[in-house]
Structures are given as structure tokens and as C-alpha cells.
A = this chain, B = another copy of it.
């Protein structure tokens, strides 16, 4: 007893009509008499007729599903993005297929391959930290696949993009540390190829400059795996603390890097001054429960997801090639939970 769906044919047979009449009645076509319409509609309702979306897809050459590539769903930033995407997708009758790169270029490529072979109508992408080149994405885009980038965008591909104001977010975060009295502020960031890494670095540098502090290259560390590999981050921190100019605060440039630093500091994996400052980009749901209170830069992830899909749908549905693209920039929010330096009793031990 397999799951057997009822088809238009079944209805037609039962009612002594042709399939086309039934089809038209169901689509409320003007050419069908009210009586026939009612007859069909009632019967369809009664036997719980559901159109077969696969047949529809084949006919319309549209799958009504869109692919999403993110780093990891087990990351609040991305899960909130996905929630935003889904909220719109559902309204518009689209189906969302999520795939995770786990910050690996290989996985990203194979997911890309998988998604396109699953005949999706469009793609929402946040590239992985490890992504070396954008040839795959470019090839797919050139073939006519609508793509919208969010968060980690690709400059080389001309399409819609949604980002947050990374520059200002980083600027504010760094300024906050400076205003708290820290003077040797290290910056731990993602792979330098990533758009977000570049922009946040620029914000950090600009804040230093505006506060009359000099930039020290040795205080900047890149994690090209985006903190997915714990050792990488640990090494970066170790190096920082061995540096001749020793940092008294850290600005971490992503969710993963922020919590990674926290974990390493907390577990005393490396010896670190008691009163080191830490601020980071993070959408984690438990950051408000940490001791010492962790100040964070939050991104409007849900809105970003909504915006991304709202920009994608017109690309999918437009009959003509779209030639004009825009980049939406959302504001971040600096959540300050720690505004005084040197509170020994609340400090990371």
C-alpha cells in the first residue's frame, strides 16, 4: 500500500469528463461552466486532490525551489538567515534547499554541483571562508542561473548582493575597545579573500587611525578556515601573545572566531592576561549569558535572509535578462555589555 496520490485523470474518470476540463475547472478557467466547475471542485475537495508538483515543474520548467549555500546551520547567524529566507519562501510558494559548506571549498563546490543538478530556480550564496576562486559560481551564473549573494559576497560576479555595514560595525567595535581604555587591540579575522574580512579590517584600521593610534601589522591575524579548525585559531592567539607589542584586547571578526577565542581563553589553553578585552561579531544566542559579559556586533540576520530572497525572486520570475543590480547594506547593532576595563571579579580566568 504505497502512497498513491489522486490525479486529474482519476477525477476526470469519476466524473465522466476529460482531463482538460478538469484541469481548467481546477484552475478556475473562464471557459468552464459554473456547474461543471462546482462539480469538479467539490469532488476534488472530497477526495483531497493535490496537484503533483513534479509534473508541474516538468511542464513549467521551474522547480519552485531555491538553493541556499551557507557555512553551517549550527551557527546562529546562518540559522537566523535561513529563517528569514524561509519566511518569504513559504509565502511565495518556494521550497528551500539548504546546503552547508562547512567553510570548505570542496564541499561548497560539490554542493553547488548537487544543487544545480537538482534543478533549482535560483541560488542564495554566502561563500565559504576557504573559497579560492569563483570559477564554479561564475560558470553557473553565466549559464543564466539567478544568484543573490549575502554576507560574503563575490565582487567579480555582477548580481544583487546583501551585506551589512561591516565597516561601521568593525569601526564601532574597535572604537568601543579604545574608549574602554585598551590600546593594543589585535584583530583576528577571516580569510583575507573574503569581502567581509576586508571590510571589517578597514573599519578596524579606520577606528585606530581616528583615535590617533598606529596600525601594527603584527596585531592582525588571518584564519583562512574561518575558525573551523580550532588549532588554527589557537596558533593565531599564541602568536599574538608572543608578539613584541602584546595585545590587551581582541576584536574578533566573526561568530565562529569570537566563540573560538572565548573558548580558548576560558579553557586557559594559553596563558593570557586576566583583563584582556574581547569583542566580536556574533549572533550567538547565549552570548548574553557569558561572564564577563561579552559585547558583540550583531547582524540583522533574519532581515538579511528576507531581503536576499526578495531580491532573488524577481530575477527568477523576470522574463527578460536583468541588467541592473544593486547592493543592499544593512546596519549592524553594537550590543555593549561590558563598558569598564579591569573588573577582576568578572574576568576570564
- A-side interface residues toward B, CB under 8 Å? 1-5, 50-55, 57-58, 63, 72-74, 76, 79-80, 82-83, 86, 90, 95-100, 114, 116-119, 143-146, 259, 262-263, 266, 284-291, 321, 345
Contacts and interface: CB of A to CB of B under 8 A. Distances in A.
Given A1-B321, A54-B57, A95 B97 contact: yes
A118 B145 contact: no
Counted per complex, copies of this chain come to 2
A100 B80 CA distance: 12
B74 A80 contact: yes
Contact of A284 (B79, B263, B286, B345): B286
Contacts of A53: 117-119
Q: Is the interface of A mostly helix, strand, loop or mixed?
A: mixed
A54 B59 CA distance: 10
A158 B2 CA distance: 16
B119 A52 contact: yes
Contact of A290 (B5, B83, B116, B290): B290
Contacts of A263: 288-289
Nearest to A99: B86
Contacts of A286: 259, 262, 284, 286-287, 289-290
Nearest to A140: B3
19 contacts: A3-B143, A3-B144, A4-B143, A5-B119, A51-B117, A54-B58, A73-B83, A74-B76, A86-B100, A95-B97, A95-B118, A259-B286, A263-B289, A284-B285, A286-B286, A286-B289, A290-B290, A290-B291, A291-B291
Contacts of A143: 3-4
Contacts of A116: 50
A25 to B, nearest CB: 19
A144 B3 CA distance: 4
Given A73-B83, A290-B290, 14 more contacts: A2-B144, A3-B146, A4-B144, A51-B117, A53-B118, A54-B57, A58-B58, A74-B76, A74-B285, A86-B99, A95-B97, A98-B98, A291-B291, A345-B345
